[in-house]
Amino acid sequence: MQLGGPDTFRPMSQQAPWWTSAVVYQVYPRSFQDSDGDGIGDLGGILQRLDHLTDLGVDVVWLSPVYPSPQADNGYDISDYQGIDPLFGTPAQLDELIEALHRRGMRLVMDLVVNHTSDEHPWFLESRASRTSAKRDWYWWRPPRAGLAAGDPGAEPTNWQSFFSGSVWELDEASGEYFLHLFDRKQPDLNWENPEVRDAVYAMMRWWLDRGVDGFRMDVINMISKDVAPDGSLHDGPPLPGSALGDGSASYLCGPRIHEFLQEMHREVFAGRGHAVGGRAVGGRADGDKALLTVGEMPGVTVEQARLFTDPARAEVDMVFQFEHVGLDFDGSKWRPVPLRMRDLKASFGRWQAALADVGWNSLYWDNHDQPRAVSRFGDDSPEFRRDSATCLATLLHLHRGTPYVYQGEELGMANYPFAGIDEFRDVESLNHFAGAMVAGEDPAEVLAVLRRMSRDNARTPVQWDGSPSAGFSTGKPWLAVNPDHTEWNAAAQRADPHSVLAHYRRLIALRHENPVVALGDFTMLLPEHDEVYAFTRSLDGETLLVVCNMSRTRQPLATLLPEAIDAELVLGNLPSADPAVLGPWEARVLRSA
């Protein structure tokens, strides 16, 4: 086996942080488990399912927002940063969850959404009260363009398009000014240029850490710094094809003060903090701020920027969530999907493995609450290959260098939902896209076909615990319909099956915990131009693992492609291999070199 060369990436120090060998599990509370029969998942439900997480072996639970919210964007529009929405339970239940997780040796990471608040947050209500409000400058208020009256077409302060369709500017008729919202109109952006805003956010974060929370996943955190002209104005973006609006991303993605803000956040919130979990240091460390975890969700971040954000010497964040690989199967917009080329995926993953090899760290994920189901998107959810492709995808991801994230239900091979019509969707992004497409005269059937493939609602159907009518999720009517395939694909059916998707995830997580080469080994991409076989090595201290994954329905001649694999020891596989010289459809093998 040839090692070294330009595609071999060296490992970090052996004294690596605990999270290098950890696995994170994302809970989307609304769809995880309902404990009170109202059809909406809650904290009580999470407490009921902790045995599942313990059995799986994960180290960290990332909890999507449970704060008070009008739920315009399913909780990512927060009206109180220091409360719990009664929809999800009580503050006492969250304290119970923190204690229960710590007792089991797991950490809790909360979702931190501080690029924007809800328009019902007291800060915004005060800001909106008058132009002279003490909190007016806590948000981005701007007058109409010069020469135009408020409400006139084109009077918005910039031409930026929002992520959820339409302009980013909403007119407040009472004051005659516009406020900025990169997302929904009920999600006004906070003005991080104002030090009072930053101080209030840092105080809130310290409050949660004092309560026992172990860190934060920071929602769109690279958007908090806007590029402001000396006169206080914001810049127009280049026009979008076929639209009166423009792309303002150059003014808010990784803006001019983003590193300053994150370094200040670290100093004010995390520096010197640390606490053991359950009386011990999970992963062997509880010293200083290393015991905490900070993850920055950063759309549009480049590998060069990610090196800066995750360089420990700069003290910003531990790892970033990047979006490059989940943008490879569409053309500019997620609503224009195209086939994924395997060599493009290899190039993307390989570039990130290389860039963060000596400095920084990777987050590894296939899907989350904002992405369709991985087995339907990147795998093959047909009855014949669903189990095999789900376990193949898992093997590929978890054997890379970085911290893997498991999104709820992914460990069961949950798939996209067969939406019959627009009335079955709930996501604001999907509903807005459909409405806009209808105004534009697009074919409803074609729009629905794309929604079925790419809508965020695919990830939000309830977790499939058993084969009962509501999949064991609720005794009431679920807020979003349960996938009809739950009668076959559920946790109860897989729990005792050694060949199940769930069992394979257990083995993958245990392998990372037990074998340092999985967490810290260097990475060498093999067969970069092959369109169906994804292969690489991981090496550390004289041990080398060869990972080979057949990402297709076609049998592959392993003996020809990688002769060194034939005599290697099988460490972990997703299929019973009848012929060591041939890779079956969607077969994955982790091999130790002879």
- We report the CATH number of the domain holding residue 109 as 3.20.20.80
Bridge pairing between strands 569-573 and 588-592: antiparallel
* Predicted structure pTM score: 0.93
- Given 73, 77, 297, 316, the catalytic residue: 297
pLDDT at 281 over 80: no
Residue 198 placed within a domain: yes
Q: Tens of pLDDT along 442-483?
A: 999 999 999 999 999 999 999 999 999 999 999 999 999 999
**Same domain, yes or no: 108 and 132:** no
3-class SS string, 87-145: CCCCHHHHHHHHHHHHHCCCEEEEEECCCECCCCCHHHHHHHHCCCCCCHHHECEECCC
**Same domain, yes or no: 270 and 253:** yes
**Same domain, yes or no: 107 and 126:** no
Q: Tens of pLDDT along 575-589?
A: 997 789 999 999 999
Question: For residues 537 and 350, is the Cβ–Cβ distance under 8 A?
Answer: no
Amino acid at 135: K
Measure the CA–CA gap between 558 and 556, rounded to whole angstroms: 6
Residue 448 placed within a domain: no
What percent of the chain is modeled with pLDDT above 70? 95
Residue 537 placed within a domain: no
Q: How many domains does the chain have?
A: 2
297 is catalytic: yes
Domain that holds residue 157: 122-180
Residue 392 placed within a domain: yes
**Same domain, yes or no: 104 and 132:** no
Measure the CA–CA gap between 323 and 577, rounded to whole angstroms: 34
pLDDT of residue 593: 85
pLDDT of residue 126: 98
Sign of CA dihedral 10, 14, 17, 22: positive
CB burial readout 265-274, b (16+ within 10 A) else e: bbeebbeeeb
Residue 438 placed within a domain: no
Measure the CA–CA gap between 341 and 339, rounded to whole angstroms: 6
The values of phi and psi at residue 535, to 5°, are: -140, 145
pLDDT at 279 over 60: no
Q: Tens of pLDDT along 14-39?
A: 478 999 999 999 999 999 999 999 99
Domain end position, chosen among 442, 467, 494: 494
Residue 563 placed within a domain: no
Question: For residues 357 and 13, is the Cβ–Cβ distance under 8 A?
Answer: no
**Same domain, yes or no: 213 and 323:** yes
* Beta bridge mates, 538: 523, 545
**Same domain, yes or no: 300 and 374:** yes
**Same domain, yes or no: 69 and 150:** no
Mean confidence (pLDDT) of the chain: 93
Sign of CA dihedral 281, 287, 292, 295: negative
pLDDT of residue 291: 85
Residue 543 placed within a domain: no
- Residue 273's pLDDT band (cuts 50, 70, 90): confident
- Given 34, 77, 214, 219, the catalytic residue: 219
- Residue 290's pLDDT band (cuts 50, 70, 90): low
pLDDT of residue 594: 66
pLDDT of residue 74: 86
Write the CATH number for 141. Answer: 3.90.400.10
**Same domain, yes or no: 160 and 135:** yes
**Same domain, yes or no: 42 and 147:** no
From edge to edge, which strands make up the β-sheet containing 141-142? 141-142, 177-180, 169-172
Q: Which two tokens stand for residue 131?
A: 């132009």
Residue 435 placed within a domain: no
**Same domain, yes or no: 386 and 415:** yes
**Same domain, yes or no: 109 and 248:** yes
**Same domain, yes or no: 36 and 152:** no
